[in-house]
Structure 1
Amino acid sequence: MLTQHTRFTIAMAAVAVVAVVAGLTAASLCVGALSTGPGETFRILGNWIHGHGFSSVPTDKETAVLHYRVPRTCVIVIAGIGLGLAGTLIQGHTRNPLADPGLLGISAGAALAIVVGIWFLDIDSVLGQVLLAFAGAAVAATAVFAIGGTGRRGDDPVGLVLAGAAVSALFGALTTTIILRSSQALDTFRHWTSGSVAWVDTGLLLSAAIPLLIGAVIAFASAPGMNLLTMGSEAASSLGLNVPRLRVAGLIAVTVLAGAATAVAGPLAFLGLTAPHIARGLVGADYRLILPMAAACSTAILFIADIIGRVVADREIPAGVMLVFVGVPFFLIVVRRTRFRAVA
């Protein structure tokens, strides 16, 4: 049972995170090579929403806000929510504090599938890329869990990390080989493979938003079962939980969520690792609270990485590169503190 003080603390943390995400969303719409003030930005958005003309606003600023920053902001929200939820589910199902869609090869599988589709099958449609991302994520997730997460080692943190490292290395090498042999794939994925949230087709956003919603529904519906699973598979089964069915639902949700995020933003490492740990520190061990908080924290982290990447240098640095600078130290801290202990 949560005490009144604990409830108040969690509520204040939730309000603070929501306020941070809202502020970062506004900053994302204003910051760029062509800066626009908050008033001017929201006037442009208001005119666009209500279908009014733009005669009083310079065309270049309209273009910057509506055609680049709005889709870019939507990409950050989709990728942030998807990877935050996927990372939380993976850590919960494996009881592994180091689990993450990127570290376990799921993002690498989605990336490889898209590159293979472009090179071998000449697929460049929006829907085709989304379907390929889901297929690649499913193959990678199945391989990792089959190699390192089944049987007696199902709750062993080391098994999943080692299997994920092997699958990521293999898929990453294959992806690099293909893009070096195909100029079309290299041109298309030069920024995508580094984890860029810029230059995204609107149709791709719509194609990824629906699967993201489906995956989120599955994730939130599995939260009560995830709470029981923290006691271990045998204890959860003795309390009436259908553990195999929960595992399958979790695998489907992780595949859909990570696939949607990777389709729109490319492979973003460490995002699904850091957000669940921050969420647990803010709201405790209840997955009904961890999941939405992790989604919000992941979105905030990606906003920060993207905004810093826009302004820190003369040329834009992809968000995936900035995430590595944050994620690697965090990863080492988690390794040192947990020493591969299972998470609650």
Structure 2
Amino acid sequence: MRICLAITALVALAACGGNSDAEIPGPVMFQHGSQGALLVANKRGASLSRLDIANGEETHRAQTCENPHELTVSPDGAQVMVACYSGTSVQVFTTDDLTPVSEIELGEQARVHAAIWLDDGRVIAGAEGRGSLFVIEGAGTGEPSVTEIGANGPPYAPGAHLLAVDAGGRYAWGTIIPTGEVVRYDLGEGAEAARRKVGEDIEAIALSPDGADLWVSSNSANQAYRLDPVTLEPRGRVATSDVPIRLAMHPSGEFVVSSNFGGGDLSVIDTETGEVVRTIPVSGSSDAVQVTLVFSEDGDRLYAAETATDTIAEVDFASGEVLRRLPTGPGGDGLAVVD
């Protein structure tokens, strides 16, 4: 199976901020024969749901730790890891029927919000409550090896809320919301390599496929920033809609899209020009509590978690049309697509 995850939406209708020469693929007609599954972490329900993409129905549900958040899938697509944001562990389940595989303890106050399963089998997990990063090897085997990078307590300083990792698995980046900082870790050296304050309430993060640009955004300033991934120095900024709480990079790297909690919409940024070329309305309201955003692997579909209404909006990339809403468990937030 092939996977598309998120840390990470795209274009459509409702023009915003003028015209653009960026080429946008033509519309793709929705087919009920679409394959794959959508995995959803239900943070109010302490559960994990598996939805059949073809018919939108929930096929399985499993109980998880309290307050599950981001999800990440193993390279072979067979397992999914749940970040236990209110606890001290991460949990692993099978993706076909959500059978529990393992629970990996990471230490007091770990509060892992996000983790990324790399192609080489390692998992990089941000321990927000410990101010550190964990490297987990053998996560799906029942005999994991765990290494901590950057522990600084107790008392602990705040750590990474969301993460990005380069394709080679050498560097990781994290956002520190209370301080507005972005941190770069050298995974090979097992140490923090750089840190810079970018703005206020910096949360969302996305790395370009070629690793040349790092994007982050400010929830309070309604801005997305393009950073040098090595020095973390800003290269540019662009205004988004209200509260750009997540960023998703299109598989092509040509666009990065913000999921806007405050506006219930998506801002589509052309990564070459650094301009917003479209705004895609989803619910159009903060009442939906729109948070996590992921692409299908081919980039044709976007899935936006509407946490307050227990639904996942499926959006056609090219047209910006909301094709349907898939019901999930209470507080569906963390998302992963398994094709």
Please tell me the TM-score bracket, short chain as reference.
Answer: under 0.3
Which of the pair is proportionally richer in strand? 2
Which of the pair is proportionally richer in helix? 1
Q: How does the TM-score come out when normalised to structure 1?
A: 0.22
Q: How does the TM-score come out when normalised to structure 2?
A: 0.23
The structure showing larger relative contact order (alpha-carbon pairs under 8 Å, at least 6 residues apart) is 1
